[in-house]
Amino acid sequence: MDVRNLTGKTALVTGAASGIGKQSALAFGRRGADLVICDIDEAGLADTEKELRGIGRQVQSSRVDVADRDAMQAFAADIHQQIGSVDLLMNNAGVALGGRFLETSLEDWDWILGINLRGVIHGCHFFVPKMKEAGRGGHVVNVSSAAGYLPGSVLNAYVTTKYAVLGLSEALSTELAPHGIGVTALCPGIIDTPITRNARLRGALDTDEMRDQMVSQYGKRGYGPERVAENLLKAIQSNRTVAPISPEAWIGYGLKRLAPGLVRWLGARGERNALKNSGS
Ligand SMILES: NC(=O)c1ccc[n+]([C@@H]2O[C@H](COP(=O)([O-])OP(=O)(O)OC[C@H]3O[C@@H](n4cnc5c(N)ncnc54)[C@H](O)[C@@H]3O)[C@@H](O)[C@H]2O)c1
């Protein structure tokens, strides 16, 4: 999809109240697109809407939980009735869960699978058919992660959802290519957003010190969501199916392809060190 000038196009972004979703909505808006945005955080959504209107864009803003199938179906019906099919669909809403498999409850699994995986499936299921029907081509961005190809043991459930989103996107890109619809799995890296503040933490990670340490590490890394949004535009322009963004995401991607044994060895070493430090 040519994103150099999005005037006359409509972009939909889920989870647009904060972080990568908000900055991507603004980046699409600056290129001329009108926006459909949703989130469960109404105050944040109102701020994003105000900023988009400030740059002259039309905005449809709704409180929608992407994990709620009925709500997503009603949202899609409403958008299709009011403005027709969208041109750019970004399934971005997501949450994080730090914890190993043996520390993750089934309730945690339901929560993260509902948002990170079923949320993406709902977005594609309810919006892609109309994109195809409209025959104008377009683009779908599904937000995966470097954890979509690097299996960190302390992020087991998160890794599971992000691997699944990567696989879904790769398969979908083949299916939609004949219709002129590109698909990108966005794999950002370590990005300084509120996701670390809001993540569920389990096991040894579940302490105030560990959370503060994680928030501070992401802050010190200093790679902001506005840079992700700028690089996402380049990835859509060049129709990249898998789009690592920050340098560490690229390094991980290269290592996984060229030296998967090294990636497994580093993971096992990290796990041994963590066990030693916890005295288990
Ligand atoms: N920050 C990072 O380092 C990083 C790295 C890789 C991937 N990601 C992914 O990027 C995406 C955006 O994350 P972010 O870092 O901008 O975090 P963020 O917390 O700033 O933004 C996530 C947004 O999703 C919304 N959301 C959460 N649950 C929702 C639901 N059920 N329905 C609708 N909206 C919901 C939140 O309210 C929030 O506004 C996520 O999918 C995340 O997994 C982030």
* Active-site annotation holds for 158: yes
Does any domain span residue 236? yes
Average pLDDT over residues 247-264: 96
User: Is the full-model pTM beyond 0.85?
Assistant: yes
Share of the chain above pLDDT 90, in %: 96
Does any domain span residue 211? yes
Q: Give 41-100 pLDDT, tens digit per residue.
A: 999 999 999 999 999 999 999 999 999 999 999 999 999 999 999 999 999 999 999 999
Does any domain span residue 18? yes
Q: What is the pLDDT of residue 22?
A: 98
Q: Give 191-241 pLDDT, tens digit per residue.
A: 999 999 999 999 999 999 999 999 999 999 999 999 999 999 999 999 999
Does any domain span residue 78? yes
Q: What is the pLDDT of residue 280?
A: 57
As for how many domains the chain has, the answer is 1
Does any domain span residue 41? yes
Give the atom of ligand 1 at the shortest distance from the alpha carbon of 158: 43
Q: What is the pLDDT of residue 154?
A: 95
pLDDT at 279 over 70: no
Q: What is the pLDDT of residue 274?
A: 78
pLDDT grade, residue 253 (50/70/90)?
A: very high
Distance 204 CA to ligand 1 centre (A): 23
Which residues approach ligand 1 with their CB closer than 6 A?
A: 14-15, 17-21, 39-41, 44, 65-67, 92-96, 115, 143, 145, 188, 190-191, 193-195, 198, 225
> Which member of 158, 163, 223, 253 is catalytic?
158
Mutate to test the pocket of ligand 1, among 193, 232, 246 (most ligand atoms within 8 A of CB): 193
Mean pLDDT of the chain: 97
**Domain span holding position 201:** 10-254
Q: What is the pLDDT of residue 275?
A: 77
Other C-beta atoms closer than 10 Å to the C-beta of 155 total 22
Distance 95 CA to ligand 1 centre (A): 5
Mutate to test the pocket of ligand 1, among 13, 14, 18, 51 (most ligand atoms within 8 A of CB): 18
Q: What is the pLDDT of residue 203?
A: 95
Give the atom of ligand 1 at the shortest distance from the alpha carbon of 20: 16
Q: What is the pLDDT of residue 273?
A: 84
Does any domain span residue 279? no
Q: Give 164-182 pLDDT, tens digit per residue.
A: 999 999 999 999 999 999 9
Does any domain span residue 264? no
Does any domain span residue 43? yes
CATH number at residue 149: 3.40.50.720
How big is the chain by its Cα radius of gyration, in Å? 19
